[in-house]
Structure 1
Amino acid sequence: MPSLITYAAIVATLAVAYFKAWPGIRAWWKDFNHRYRVTDDGQLIIPMGLQALRHIYQTLITHRFNQFYDIEWTALSPRYSSKIALNYINLKPGKNFKIDGDDAFYVEHYTYREMYDIVLRLSYILHTKYGIEKGDTVTMYFMNKPLFIFIWLALWNIGAIPAFLNYNLKHNPLVHSIKVVKPTCVLVDATDCEESFNESKQEILDAYPDLQVIYLKDFELLPIIKDPSSPEFRQSDKVRDAGVQAWHPALLVYTSGTTGMPKSAVNSWRKCFFAAYLFPVPMKIYETANIYTAMPLYHGTGSILGALPAFEQRGTLSLGHKFSVSSYWAQVRLTNANTIQYVGEVCRYLVEAPETEDERMYYGKVELAYGNGLRKDIWPKLKHRFGIKAIGEFYASSESPFATTCREENGTGVGAIRNNGWLADKFLGATIYTLVRMQPDDDNLIYRNKDGFCEEPHTGEKGELITKIWNPRDVKTTFPGYVNNEEATYSKVIRDVFHKGDAWVRSDDLMMRDGIGNIYFTDRMGDTFRWKSENVSTTEVENELLELDEIEYCAVVGCKVKNHEGRCGYAVLQTRSNNEESDEELKQVLDKVADRVITHLPHFGRPCFVRFDTIELTFSHKISKKRFRNPVLPAGPSGTQKVYYLDTKGKRYLPLDAESYEQIAREKIRI
């Protein structure tokens, strides 16, 4: 019988062998974990599973989808009631940051309890004075400020549906945006937006004469709703919840889309739940988060994926009035933010800006920068320059029911919109979203095999991102689509994709998957491009240009500009005289074009470049844009095209040459 010494020798031998092999095991595990990201999946499974169970319980048992309840619970909780929910930083009247430094700013602070009480008092005013009831749709024309947040939550308390208008819109796009949702009233930021709104007010009332226009002034309203003696209104739970389902609209956000005027995208209670509770899990947004954002709240980025995660995770939202490169890090520092939100251009502006004392003081204090549209080459520069621990890139759209997420700390996933683990990849691909191959000779058409079904693209091959509809017989329970626009809603739906009877939602965006499953955005499809962090509808721009008597046809496409994020507007024009006018006459046409786009289009929608050319029509009398796509600056592929650029200071179009284009590329001339 072996002695204890023999057993000890065997154990010692095995131990020595194990430790000798340990470097190899460790290297194998490192490679395996990099490829399949097992630890990433492990960190997601339990918290994501718990939140999924929470939503199932909410859907089947409580039927309480309104997130006002969660904010109310936080505000009345002894643990969180005195915690800061909202910081707001803005310039003092007459002050200049470059001259006055920190003294140029004032910062307002609101605890969860203070915010809740203010919301109840504001609810009383909106309900009793202005007659807003449960089920009403209320449009908001507001800049970033606490009153935006208070109105939003007050409408949720009442049971009304807020619709966030882009305050850059005027004239036709604004009229359409209001009319399409059939609101009870429009609430106007009288402090910052009254003058802009009034440019289009008569057009709005002509189109929608029963609309109630309510101007709200900060300095008049805030003292009332901050006064503890002011009356409060809390809607009855029974009234607030009556008839509400998870797929019903929680709020409306506008998107340009591809059919002309802005469309109002339904953002359901389910989508808001995912944004508030599921989105923060892979992004690692916890109650310790203090999120600074100067992104406009009328966008889903700032509101749905900015404010909601902050409040529902019981963190802090630090709100900037609007983005400023020069004072950005001062505002982050003065609000003590540890998380910042971006869109791609913001990051480029920050990286290219001169170094400041504020960024040196705050180096390494931001744990997460998250947003969408961050360029791959800017990504590591942003992290290294400002000492940011992690980048959180996501992909979402105003109408999409889900978002992808990529949190990058160690280099895995730089430039990606998703970098989940292998198991999460398979689960999401089967239940949430995936990619489909496109026709080899046409990126706008989805490929179908001989059996009539779609296929997933190979590694490195472009494919369109599509989102699964859980109940194909009732599309709107997953994809509510657009308000009062059934055609646009169902045009996004594709059926019989991987098997008979399934249904998916098209994104109109092309992606690419790498060898370890990361997904990267490659390009937008169709007639929409993104410029200055906004989606621009080419049809909308074309409609404005065609209002000019001198223009017979026009084609607007997105154009890449050296050192600039996204694509800007590039208009090809054909006059009624087939471009045979004299140089002086063409100059007059250009002056009218400049006046039209500056007056009637938001700054991001104005064509930055224009040229005259013959525009061909297809057999169905549609304009063929194929040869105009991907224009080459400054003078086309041949170097002989005569192109004009929009001089924003002079408000006119000027000839573009190599020198002026280089100045645009270096941002000496801003477009």
Structure 2
Amino acid sequence: MLGLVIAPLAIASLFGYIVLKTEPTWFKNFNNKYRIKEDLQLVGVLGSFFHHYVIQSLITKQFSLWYEFELNATNPNVMNTIAIKYPKSIKGKNFKIDGENSFIVENITYKDFYESILRMSYILKNEFGIEKGDVVSLYFMNKPLFLIIWFSLWNLGAIPAFLNYNLTSNPLIHCIKVVKSKIVLIDDECLNNFNKTKQQIENELPNVLLKIINEENMLEKVNNKINEQFREINSIRDLNVKYWDPAVLVFTSGTTGLPKSAVNSWRKIYMATHLFPKAMHFSSISNIYTAMPLYHGTASILGVLPALIVKGTISIGHKFSLSSYWTQIKICKCNTIQYVGEVCRYLVDSSITLNENECYGKIQLAYGNGLRPDIWMKLKERFGIKAIGEFYSSSEAPFATTCYEYNGIGIGAIRNNGYLADKILSLQYKLVKMDPNDETIIYRNPNTGLCEVPGINEKGEMIMRILNPKNIKATFPGYVNDDIATYSKIIRDVFKKGDAWVRSDDLMRIDELGCIYFVDRMGDTYRWKSENVSTTEVENQILEFNKEIKNCVIVGAKVDNHEGRAGYALIQTQNDNKDIENNLNKLNEILKELYETSIKHLPHFARPVFITFQNISFSDSHKISKKIFRDPILPCGKNGLLKVYYLDGSKKTYSPLDDNIYARITNGDIRL
């Protein structure tokens, strides 16, 4: 039976290899439409899945990624390869003065990394008392020691929980408490911030051990080859472990304001380290630079792990720095960069920085999530980047989509697989049609009671299949110790009776080629003039056609005596609104340009009715949290002092809004 499957695949692979090498004209035309080339390159993934689901899941029961890392680290052909590069700032040096000489690159081979892990494992077990099954929280900045501790915990069979080192007070206590952490390991570099909450933690969680890690002293111990090593016995490490058990715990923001701990299971980790690298074309020569915080899954699960499993190199920036970004990439000799959120906009909008020109054309791939369509090609062109790898996932999602764009097909998409891959992957996730009268509700056919797939370019919510509806947590472990939040994302009886899917709360659309595009968070739409308005689409239009605007947030504002919500834009200019504070002519010029953009490029129902100027802050992952801007108060904010402007058709601009004008709007004298 297995031969019946392998033989056709082998023939297809051989045929594909010949075609890929020769690329005749007919194939180029055919591939532009169906992207078979991408499908053929994914054939090798089938072998990995066979190993995972048959050998690993049914025979060895060794789900931990520790074993694959260990094989690489002890392989004579790999052990002397550089696993980690770390551009470390030299004390006493100033980048503005010393440039690249202000850094020293620490190179750690697979062999040295592995041996340091074994020595750290000895310390964690014998000095800190960490055992299999313990949850250990890490309050750490980006550095090799973070990775050494992480993999040591895997060796011991313990569970690492990655804490945001910016957290203090109740959110930090909540994160430690919700995962039932036994011990918190604190980077001495984060001590000042941690100490703000230390006494509160000791009072509320007296049984949690707090251990401050002095980096210099600890590295001396783990790098000293005469110190003892420890490797846990396999049978102890694997005891009672299921593939849906947590490999890593990371935190995602919750609607209550308190973070939720998302379970990243061994199954999900396996996907991230086998399917994702294939989709992104990683190999042993990949040297990936990331300055994203390692406590986020983007950098840790989709950065560190794929690099190490393909026997490549991960280069870790201590934290994101626009001025030294390209310098760090140059001295680490990276060929791949990882982005998230607005980082790409920072790079594109900046003036030329040191070593930028030296890196031009040397980056084969920039990958991450949240790259805006208007920045996509600018990023490639300015820095000579060969391909963009955009993905869509979340901390808790059981699956991810990928877009590898190198030829113009799929610009701005979150998925652009080939025709065959689309058909296979659509078994894992689909778009589901929304109620035409309320885009927050999934549509069900009144005759069948089942859901439907939206049409081409029709918006729908992304949902992901639960493989076994009777065992939800095998596919979707959800959130730690929060079954209410976990099961609230499950929808049943979707396309057939008895099935179950995970809701993403994100609206997407699919085009004629099968490419999927992100449209909006479901909470980021509002209804005006009997139409649903996508805040993201409006923001993209404003940013594309108004070059003096740096950031823009669109929300819906409740207007007395009006149905729905009117568009309300928060605008930040390129120099953070300083140019308009005392310059009435400049202010009027920008208001006029925004009016013209709204009229020319947006349908009447999507035009921002109100505008105010406000500097917009970003989260530590370079994303805008729209929650803090929702439900604005008209006419002049909560304190009555906010300057707001309204869409004034009579003057063909945005004019100042005051109590009198707002009263005329609410009673119908001025029509919106």
CA contact (8 A) 2:131 2:158 kept: yes
Residue 469 of structure 1 corresponds to 466
SS of 1:366 mapped into structure 2 = coil
**Equivalent pair of 1:252/1:264 in contact (CA under 8 Å):** yes
Question: Is 1:305 equivalent to 2:325 in the alignment?
Answer: no
Quote how far apart the aligned CAs of 1:558 are. Answer: 14
- 1:242 counterpart residue number: 239
The match for 1:107 among 100, 105, 110 is: 105
> For the Cα contact (< 8 Å) 2:403–2:414, is it kept in 1?
yes
Match of 1:502 in 2: 499
**2 CA distance for matches of 1:571 and 1:329?**
42
User: Aligned equivalents of 1:571 and 1:158: distance in 2?
Assistant: 53
Q: Deviations over 1:454-489 (max 9, x none)?
A: 111111111111000000000000000000000000
Indicate conservation of the 8 Å contact 2:323/2:354, yes or no: no
Alignment of 1:438-477 (within 5 A): 438-450=434-446, 451-477=448-474
SS of the residue 1:292 aligns to: strand
CA contact (8 A) 2:388 2:405 kept: yes
C-alpha displacement of 1:28: 5.9
Q: Quick one: which of 515, 521, 527 aligns to 2:518? A: 521
Asked if 1:195 corresponds to 2:215, the answer is no
Q: CA deviation at 1:102?
A: 1.1
Distance 1:215 1:415, change over 3 A: same
For residue 647 of structure 1, what is the aligned residue in structure 2?
none
Q: CA deviation at 1:151?
A: 0.7
Q: Secondary structure at the match of 2:258?
A: coil
Of 379, 382, 394, the residue aligned with 2:376 is 379
Query: Aligned to 1:193, what secondary structure does the other structure show?
Result: helix
Deviation at 1:260, TM superposition (A): 3.4
Return the offset for 1:282: 1.3
**CA–CA separation in structure 1 for the residues paired with 2:538 and 2:28:** 42
Q: Which amino acid aligns with 1:613?
A: I
Q: CA offsets per residue over residues 398-443 of structure 1, 9 Å max, x none?
A: 001111100000000000000001111111112x111001111211
Partner of 1:306: helix, strand, or coil?
helix
Question: Any residues of structure 2 matched to 1:521-600 within 5 Å, and which?
Answer: 521-526=518-523, 563-564=549-550, 567=553
2:229 pairs with 227, 232, 239, which one? 232
Alignment partner, residue 59 of structure 2: 61
Query: Do the aligned partners of 1:258 and 1:528 also contact (CA within 8 Å) in 2?
Result: no
Structure 2 CA distance, aligned partners of 1:384 and 1:361?
A: 15
Supply the distance in 1 between the matched residues of 2:441 and 2:408 (Cα, whole angstroms).
34
Q: Please, which runs of 5 or more residues in structure 2 have no aligned partner?
A: 1-22, 527-535, 544-548, 559-615, 649-654, 660-672
Task: Tell whether the 8 Å contact from 2:460 to 2:508 is kept in structure 1 after alignment.
Answer: yes
Aligned to 2:259: 262
Q: 2:317 — aligned with what?
A: 320
Q: Secondary structure at the match of 1:41?
A: helix
Q: Distance in 2 between matches of 1:465 and 1:303?
A: 24
For 1:247-306, what per-residue CA distance to the aligned partner results, in whole angstroms no more than 9, with x for missing partners? 110010100133431100000001111101111111100111000100100000000000
Deviation digits for residues 180-226 of structure 1 (CA, Å, limit 9, x no counterpart): 11100111111x21110111122222321211111001111100110
Query: 71-80 vs 560-569, which deviates more?
Result: 560-569
Match of 1:272 in 2: 269
Residue 607 of structure 1 and its aligned partner are, at CA, apart by: 7.9
Which of 387, 392, 396 does residue 390 from structure 1 map onto? 387
Deviation (angstroms), 1:33: 2.2
Structure 1 residues 163 and 528: CA distance shift in structure 2, 3 A:
farther
Please tell me whether the aligned partners of residues 116 and 148 of structure 2 are also in contact (alpha carbons under 8 angstroms).
yes
Change (3 A) 1:565 1:87: farther
| Structure 1 contact 435–466 (Cα < 8 Å) conserved | yes
1:32 alignment partner, one of 18, 30, 35 = 30
Give the 3-state SS of the residue equivalent to 2:297 in structure 1: coil
Q: Which amino acid in structure 2 is aligned with residue 214 of structure 1?
A: K
Match of residue 435 from structure 1: 431
Assess if the C-alpha contact under 8 Å between 2:524 and 2:555 holds in 1: no
**C-alpha contact (below 8 Å) 1:133/1:159 kept by paired residues:** yes
Q: 2 CA distance for matches of 1:51 and 1:330? A: 37
Instruction: Kindly state the Cα deviation for residue 72 of structure 1 after the two structures are TM-superposed.
Output: 1.2
Change (3 A) 1:29 1:227: closer
Is the CA contact (8 Å cut-off) linking 2:553 and 2:626 kept in structure 1?
no
Task: Tell me the C-alpha RMSD between the 2 structures.
Answer: 3.0
State the distance in 2 between where 1:169 and 1:89 align: 25
Residue 366 (1) aligns with residue 363 (2): yes
Helix, strand or coil at the partner of 1:517? coil
The Cα of 1:67 is off from its aligned counterpart by 1.1
Query: 240-249 or 47-56: which moved more?
Result: 47-56
Structure 2 CA distance, aligned partners of 1:633 and 1:505?
42
Matches within 5 A, 1:138-217: 138-190=136-188, 192-217=189-214
CA gap of 1:319–1:642, structure 2 versus 1, over 3 A, is farther
> What amino acid does structure 2 have at the position aligned with 1:501?
G
Listed one character per residue, the Cα deviations across residues 326-367 of structure 1 (whole Å, up to 9, x for unaligned) are 111100000000110001311111111112351111111111
Residue 238 to residue 95, structure 1, CA distance change in 2 (3 Å): same
Instruction: Report if the CA contact (8 A) 1:84-1:109 is conserved.
Output: yes
- Closer, same or farther in 2 for the Cα pair 1:634/1:140, shift >3 Å? farther
Q: 1:156 is paired with a residue of what secondary structure?
A: helix
Q: Please say if residues 433 and 452 of structure 2, whose CA atoms lie closer than 8 Å, have aligned partners that are also in contact.
A: yes
Give % identity.
Answer: 53
| 2:431–2:454 Cα contact (<8 Å) kept | yes
Distance of aligned partners of 1:609 and 1:65 in 2 relative to their CA distance in 1, 3 Å threshold: closer
- Following TM superposition, by how much is the alpha carbon of 1:564 offset from its aligned partner in structure 2, in angstroms? 5.0
The partner residue of 1:94 within 84, 92, 95 is 92
- What residue number does 2:282 align with? 285
Deviation at 1:566, TM superposition (A): 8.0
Structure 1 unaligned segments of length 5 or more: list them.
Answer: 1-24, 530-556, 573-596, 616-626, 644-671
1:27, distance to aligned residue in structure 2 (A): 6.5
Query: What corresponds to 1:613 in structure 2?
Result: 633
Distance 1:306-1:636 versus aligned 2 partners, 3 A rule: farther
